[in-house]
Amino acid sequence: MRVVSFFAAGILVSWVLSVLGEEMMGSSPCNFPAIYNFGDSNSDTGGNSAAFYPAGPPSGETFFHQPAGRGSDGRLIIDFIAKHLRLPYLSAYLDSIGTSYRHGANFATGGARIRRFNTSFFVTGESPFSLDIQIVQFDQFKSRTSNLYKHAKKHSSRRNLPRPEDFSKALYTFDIGQNDIAASLQTMSNEQLKAVIPGIVDQLATAVEHLYQNGARTFWIHNTGPIGCLPVTQHHYHRPMPGILDQHGCVIAQNDMAKEFNRKLKSAVIKLREQLPDAAFTYVDVFAAKYKLIGNAKKQGFVDARNICCGYHEDDSHVYCGNKAKINGSEVYAGSCEDPSLYISWDGVHYTEAANHWIANHIVNGSFSDPPVPITHACHKGQSV
């Protein structure tokens, strides 16, 4: 009896929500013809692999059955978003081989920050394709593809090019900032980091505004995830002092910095909404979605979030996923676990396909968004709540 009324209440609530939702946004979906994405390894679908060294095995094993330029055993959140919108998986702008850009392009590269930094990929793994460069690449992409499209003599030579009129109807997505925080955590005190965050967020807002000036109208902006919950960070805290870690083993001070970034990002999005009233901005609380998954790992069918599927990390020996190293004179190969679908973390930094799928499922319907509108309707201007 109790179960039945609880269930009925659930149905009522979702009915009310769906009616409210339709009222608020009108019922027609946006039918985005393309996605343009900007970001770091959380959404890199082959940029770094094309520019530098290709990602090696066992990455890609679950879904692509071979390395596919992604830091995961399979698909990323952006892949599941594309699938949800019935669009093909995004090709990297930097990938010149066999690519179609008809339905968008991906400018994200692993290691990228919002802020340009004076370090080298070969020394620190820092991507030279910081957000400002990704935006320059987008400008070049747009003008050159539009020009080629206009002058194409044959229908077939237009096939892999975006339709110029689609740029204003496309969905523009962002997932960047984690590396700005990660790098700063190593070189600054939390107080210093707090002081530079507004400037970092301003640069993201400037990038968004630039795209707007060039005709973009729908923006879907992920905040940054719980960096203190990445197992690779936690390995630095073998025997932590009390109060360093939260109940899920996440480093509290690091997550606090991510939250600070997110607070500033949310205010920036609200400000953009006021400044650019004919654009639609969705702020997506990816932090909350990831943290919910990490905090409910068992209930959601995963092993404890501190475990990683691929990589060998013990005491002071670290062998990263897919690498070999000699430990105590014997060779250790860091291969993947038996069943990646049980793990949240793929390699200590990146999420598994199963976790990305879970996160994507929970964000596409708008339940972690402001305004709380499904991604299929994100082109309709909503009010901040």
Ligand X SMILES: *[C@@H]1O[C@H](CO)[C@@H](O)[C@H](O)[C@H]1NC(C)=O
Footprint on this chain of ligand X (rule: CB under 6 A)? 17, 118, 327-328, 361-362, 365, 367
Tell me whether residue 350 is one of the annotated catalytic residues: yes
**From CA 343, how far away is CA 307, in angstroms rounded?**
7
**By the 8 A CB rule, do 233 and 178 touch?**
no
Q: Is 132 a catalytic residue?
A: no
Q: Closer CB to ligand X, residue 99 or residue 361?
A: 361
> Which of 224, 287, 261, 277 is CA-nearest to residue 383?
277
Minimum separation from the CB atom of position 327 to ligand X (A): 4
Q: Identify which of residues 190 and 361 has a Cβ nearer to ligand X in the complex.
A: 361
**Smaller CB separation from ligand X, 267 or 361:** 361
Which one, 156 or 328, has the nearer CB to ligand X? Answer: 328
- Report, in Å, the least distance between residue 115 CB and ligand X: 12
Q: Which two tokens stand for residue 334?
A: 């860091």
Least separation in angstroms between residue 229's CB and ligand X is 20
Q: Provide the residue count of the chain.
A: 385
User: SS3 for 48?
Assistant: helix
Q: What are phi and psi of 47, to 5 degrees?
A: -65, -60
- Write down the catalytic residue from 347, 357, 370, 377: 347
Take residue 306 and report the two structure tokens written for it: 């501190």
Dihedral of CA atoms 26, 29, 33, 38 in degrees, nearest 10, equals 80
Question: Where would I find the beta strands (DSSP E) of the chain?
Answer: 35-39, 104-106, 171-175, 218-222, 280-284, 311-314, 317-320, 324-327, 330-333, 369-370
Report yes or no: 254 and 236 within 8 Å, Cβ to Cβ: no
What is the closest distance, in whole angstroms, from the C-beta atom of residue 14 to ligand X in the complex? 6
**Identity at 183, one-letter amino acid code:** A
Smallest separation, CB 361 to ligand X (Å): 5
Among the options 350, 357, 370, 377, which is catalytic? 350
The pair phi, psi for residue 54, each rounded to 5°, is: -65, 145
Least distance to ligand X, CB of residue 13, Å: 9
Decide whether 160 or 367 has the Cβ nearer to ligand X.
Answer: 367
- Judge whether 84 counts as a catalytic residue: no
Burial of residue 201 (CB within 10 Å: 0-12, 13-18, 19+) is buried
Task: Between 17 and 244, name the residue whose CB sits nearer to ligand X.
Answer: 17
The active-site residue out of 41, 43, 49, 336 is 41
List, by residue number, the catalytic residues.
Answer: 41, 347, 350
